[in-house]
Amino acid sequence: MYDKSDPRSSLAAAEKKAAPPPARFAGTEYGRFYETAPQIDDASGRTWITRGQNFVIAYSDCRAGAVFAREGQLDEYALIVPDAGTSVEITTEAGTETVPGYSVAFIPPGKTVVRVLAAGRIVRLFTPKSEDLASLASNAGNFAEPHPTVPPFVAWPEPPGGLKLRWYSLDVPVEPGRFGKIFRCTTFMVNYLDPRIGPRDRTKVSPHHHDDFEQCSLALDGSFTHHIRWPWTTDMTIWREDEHALCLSPSVCVIPPPAIHTSTAEDLGLNQLVDIFAPPRLDFSSKPGWVLNADDYPMP
């Protein structure tokens, strides 16, 4: 359910799949990094780790010169550098490249190193194949068994030229009719939403649900209330109470399907949210012009 001013109101309705009702619903996962201890605190800085069924998110407050190395990385991972003043140096098996701040990068498998040239924050996104990080997640125990409504992860096709370091500036003008700034790779879709100054208009919210994929909403600036409602089924024993959870920044909210959800910005100043999906969304990818690097990564 979208207000007519919301670009998502133009999405084609998903074909309904005949499926039995779930035997149980998974709950929302929250990572309020501003009020909890980091999972890693070392010479590179402090890193908080939270996960969903199909992804692991590592948020780091970095010292200048911080180094994040991966040995034998099994699949492509993503890096978000939110601030213009925080550039990074990324080394892959093909060489070293400097990536400016306010960018998103997709980093190939194998041996890689991310070096943060100036103190600041970065966000790295991995699939659970990165078991070392998945096991450190603050909520790792909640995924000892797969969540019932999320299908197994399947990566999207590799580019014809193979996987390599690719990065993209987030300095993209807002365009009417396009929903945020969307980039995708084989493992992730990152939607860096248009910044919102001030609280969201309560008469134009967007309650909706996803049939079979989870959503990670990463709050980088400001604060958001995440409104969550689960459908009723004939089995009252699996019903869940509505949630209206206030999350300051930095934080993540992992919304499981098929929960109905919408988020409202709360601060008077900047409110910046990033939506993350693993694997990429087909409906967003099918909208011409929405995925800004669509030419680099083919659809299934």
In a domain, 17, yes or no: no
CATH code for position 33? 2.60.120.10
In a domain, 16, yes or no: no
What is the rounded CA–CA span in Å between residue 293 and residue 283?
A: 15
pLDDT of residue 15: 58
In a domain, 78, yes or no: yes
- Note the pTM of the prediction, 2 decimals: 0.94
In a domain, 237, yes or no: yes
Residues 6+ apart with CB under 8 A from 195: 221, 270, 271, 272
Domain range for 253 is 24-172+181-285
- Of all helices (H) and strands (E), which one includes residue 115? strand 110-116
In a domain, 14, yes or no: no
Q: At residue 41, what is the residue type?
A: D
pLDDT of residue 93: 96
The structural domain count of the chain equals 1
79, 104 contact by CB (below 8 A)? yes
What is the rounded CA–CA span in Å between residue 217 and residue 224?
A: 10
pLDDT of residue 17: 61
175 exposure class (CB count in 10 Å sphere: 0-12, 13-18, 19+): middle
Instruction: Tell me which residue of 101, 138, 140 sits closest to 122, measured CA to CA.
Output: 101
What is the rounded CA–CA span in Å between residue 78 and residue 32?
A: 21
pLDDT of residue 10: 83
Instruction: Tell me which residue of 77, 28, 86, 75 sits closest to 217, measured CA to CA.
Output: 28
In a domain, 197, yes or no: yes
Per-residue pLDDT tens listing for the chain (300 residues): 767 788 888 886 655 565 667 788 999 999 999 999 999 999 999 999 999 999 999 999 999 999 999 999 999 999 999 999 999 999 999 999 999 999 999 999 999 999 999 999 999 999 999 999 999 999 999 999 998 899 999 999 999 989 999 999 999 999 999 999 999 999 999 999 999 999 999 999 999 999 999 999 999 999 999 999 999 999 999 999 999 999 999 999 999 999 999 999 999 999 999 999 999 999 999 999 999 999 999 999
149, 212 contact by CB (below 8 A)? yes
pLDDT of residue 270: 98
Instruction: Tell me which residue of 229, 256, 264 sits closest to 243, measured CA to CA.
Output: 229
Which residue intervals of the chain are DSSP H helices?
A: 131-134, 282-285
In a domain, 61, yes or no: yes
- Of all helices (H) and strands (E), which one includes residue 124? strand 120-126
pLDDT of residue 11: 84
In a domain, 190, yes or no: yes
CB atoms within 10 A of CB 155: 17
